């Protein structure tokens, strides 16, 4: 790990160098009234004034629907074509928030805790993350309450902290980060000794994670789930924008003799998610599904995978059509 300084024009030159290296570059772009990661070619396309992108980098790292493998039926036989990791394009994510980058750890925990997930790993290998520490936050942000911070470097290959002069402190964190620096090493100057913390937004913790965890361990039969979930509509917006939600579905796309098996995101909030063919549904009610969402992130994952399933990005609260504010709900559980 090495800390450097990069000035304003240096940032642009370096950015251009990354683009010309042939890698896909995704960055937040403001269009259609929303800020979201999109492929960009020029630094000027990158959005400035915003707190959070609508979707997490999950939407840029993974395809919305991904072919696990494809097949063709020939004379009663089936030929399989495996997923090719090399088909994944080299991707650089620019201006990622630390809470987004922190999502890789829980995602990897889910995908690799037992058998390794070839596809997930292929995407990870091909993705480099240049995060920007956060100088601003809003009422939905709570990374500091879930082991994160506005300057958290977990999951990032490089982290930039923007300085008033338009330059930035560049923390080069990984080998992948070094490779990116190597595309234009001369713009990286020696560290000027600026304290990063000075430029981070001050975000007090809103609840104590251990306390919440202890409460949740005993809360399975609590009435809180029903009370909190009453207005929940049962859509999947929270899960789809979440940087750590990994529930998925496997589906078939067949055309005549050819077909492919497809993986796409799913959501534990959907009523049909756990429905058995027999008609029995273990999580029949919305309150049970809401409980599953919270317990999975804040109790099951910490216990089973040693990682909390929430990075405090606040997207689910912002995306929810009926203001199911996760911070408010967790805080209220902590206070119980």
Partner 1 sequence: MSKIGVFICHCGENISATVDVERVAREIGGMEGVAHAIDYKYMCSDPGQTFIKEAVKKYGLDGVVVGACSPRMHEPTFRRACAEAGLNPYLCEMANLREHCSWVHEKSEETTEKAIDLVKMMVEKVKKNKPLDSIKVPVTKRALVIGGGIAGIQASLDIANTGHKVILVERDPSIGGHMSQLSETFPTLDCSQCILTPRMVEVAQHPNIKLYTYAELESLEGFIGNFKAKIRLKAKSVNYSTCTGCGACIQKCPVKKIPSEFNAGLGTRTAIYVPFPQAVPNKPVIDRVNCNYYKRGACKICEKTCQVGSIEWDKEDEIITEEVGAVVLATGFDVKGTDFFPEYGYGQYKDVLTGLQFERLASASGPTFGEIRRPSDGAIPKKIVFIACAGSRDPAKGIPYCSKICCMYTAKHAMLYQHKVHDGESTVFYMDIRAGGKNYEEFVRRAIEEDTVNYVRGRVARVYEKNGKLIVKGVDTLLGGEQVEIEADMVVLATAGVANCGSEQLAQKLHVSYDPYHFFAEAHPKLKPVETNTAGIFLAGACQAPKDIPETVGMASGAAVKVAALFSNDELVREPVVAVVNRLAPPLYSTCVGCFMCETACPYNAIEHEEIKGRDGSLIRTIARVNQGLCQGCGTCVAFCRSKSIDIQGYTNEQVYAEVMSLLND
Partner 2 sequence: MSSNTDFEPKIIAFVCNWCTYAGADLTGTSRLKYATNVKIVRFPCTGRIDFLLLLKSFAQGADGVIVSGCHPNDCHYTSGNFHARRRWIAFRSILDLMGVDIRRIQYSWVSAAEGSKWADLVNNTVADIRALGPYAEYQKVADYLEKEGYNEEA
Partner 3 sequence: MSEQNTYLPYLMTIEKVIKEAPGVKTYRLKFQDEAEAEAFEFKAGQFGEYSAFDEGESTFCIASSPTRKGYIECTFRDTGRVTSGLASLEEGSTMGFRGPYGNVFPMEEWKGKNLLFIAGGIALPPMRCVIWNALDLRENFKDITIVYGAKTVNDLVYKSELKEWSDRPDVKMVTTVDPGGENADWKGEIGFVPTIVDKVAPSAENTIAIVCGPPIMIKFTFPVLEKLGFKDDQIYTTLENRMKCGVGKCGRCNVGKLYICKDGPVFSKEELNLIPAEEY
- For binding to partner 1 (CB under 8 A), which residues are involved? 73, 76, 255-257, 278-281
**Which of 39, 166, 185, 282 forms a contact with partner 3 (CB under 8 A)?**
282
Q: Is 63 in the site for partner 3 (CB under 8 A)?
A: no
CB of 283 to partner 1, least distance (A): 13
Q: Is 298 in the site for partner 3 (CB under 8 A)?
A: no
Task: Give yes or no for a contact between 316 and 242, defined as CB atoms under 8 angstroms apart.
Answer: yes
Residue 300 neighbours by CB distance under 10 Å: 14
Residue 279 touches which of partner 2, partner 1, partner 3, none (CB < 5 to 8 A by kind)?
partner 1
Residue 78 neighbours by CB distance under 10 Å: 10
Residue for token pair 């949740």? 216
Task: Give yes or no for a contact between 150 and 98, defined as CB atoms under 8 angstroms apart.
Answer: yes
Q: Which two tokens stand for residue 144?
A: 């500091």
DSSP SS3 for 283: coil
Residue 64 touches which of partner 3, partner 2, partner 1, none (CB < 5 to 8 A by kind)?
partner 2
- The 10 Å CB-count burial string (b at 16+, else e) for 148-169 is bbbbbbbbbbbbbbbbeeebbb
Q: Is 214 in the site for partner 3 (CB under 8 A)?
A: no
CB of 109 to partner 3, least distance (A): 10
Residue 229 neighbours by CB distance under 10 Å: 22
Report DSSP state, residue 207. S
Q: Is 271 in the site for partner 3 (CB under 8 A)?
A: no
Q: Which two tokens stand for residue 123?
A: 């995407």
Closer residue to partner 1 (CB): 164 or 279: 279
Closer residue to partner 3 (CB): 1 or 80: 80
Site string for partner 3, 84-123 (x = CB under 8 A): -x------------------------xx-xxxxxxx-x--
Task: Give yes or no for a contact between 244 and 109, defined as CB atoms under 8 angstroms apart.
Answer: no
Count of residues binding partner 3 (CB under 8 A)?
51
Interaction site with partner 2 (CB under 8 A): 39, 63-67, 255, 262
In 135-275, where does DSSP find H-type helix? 175-181, 209-217, 224-229, 237-241
How many residues are listed for the chain in this entry?
Answer: 336
Closer residue to partner 2 (CB): 24 or 226: 24
**Residue 132 phi, psi (nearest 5):** -115, 130
Rg (CA), the chain: 21
Closer residue to partner 3 (CB): 6 or 119: 119
Closer residue to partner 2 (CB): 88 or 102: 88
CB of 323 to partner 3, least distance (A): 25
Residues in touch with partner 3 (CB under 8 A): 68-69, 71, 73, 76-78, 80, 82-83, 85, 110-111, 113-119, 121, 220, 246-252, 254, 259, 261, 263, 266, 268, 273-278, 280, 282-283, 288, 292, 296, 299-300, 303-304
């Amino acid at each position: 790990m090495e800390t450097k300084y990069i000035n304003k024009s240096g940032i642009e030159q370096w950015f251009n160098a990354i683009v010309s290296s042939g890698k896909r570059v995704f960055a937040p772009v403001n269009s259609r009234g929303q800020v979201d990661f999109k492929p960009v070619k020029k630094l000027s396309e990158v959005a400035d004034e915003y707190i959070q992108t609508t979707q997490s980098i999950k939407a840029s790292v993974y395809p919305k629907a991904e072919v696990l493998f494809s097949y063709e039926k020939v004379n009663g036989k089936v030929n399989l074509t495996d997923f090719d990791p090399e088909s994944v394009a080299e991707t650089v994510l620019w201006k990622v928030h630390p809470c987004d980058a922190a999502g890789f750890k829980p995602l990897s925990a889910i995908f690799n805790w037992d058998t390794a997930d070839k596809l997930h790993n292929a995407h990870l290998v091909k993705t480099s993350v240049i995060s920007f520490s956060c100088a601003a936050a809003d009422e939905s942000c709570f990374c500091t309450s879930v082991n994160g911070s506005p300057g958290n470097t977990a999951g990032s290959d490089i982290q930039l902290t923007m300085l008033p002069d338009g330059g930035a402190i560049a923390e080069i964190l990984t080998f992948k980060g070094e490779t990116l620096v190597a595309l234009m090493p001369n713009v990286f100057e020696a560290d000027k000794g600026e304290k990063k913390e000075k430029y981070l937004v001050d975000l007090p913790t809103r609840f104590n994670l251990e306390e919440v965890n202890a409460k949740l361990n005993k809360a399975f039969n609590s009435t809180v789930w029903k009370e909190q979930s009453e207005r929940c509509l049962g859509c999947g917006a929270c899960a789809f924008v979440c940087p750590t939600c990994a529930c998925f579905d496997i589906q078939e796309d067949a055309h005549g003799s050819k077909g492919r098996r497809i993986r796409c995101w799913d959501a534990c909030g959907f009523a049909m998610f756990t429905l058995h063919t027999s008609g029995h549904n273990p999580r029949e009610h919305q309150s049970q599904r809401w409980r599953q969402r919270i317990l999975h992130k804040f109790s099951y994952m910490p216990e089973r995978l040693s990682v909390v399933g929430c990075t405090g990005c606040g997207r689910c609260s912002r995306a929810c059509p009926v203001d199911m504010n996760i911070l408010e709900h967790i805080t209220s559980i902590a206070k119980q």
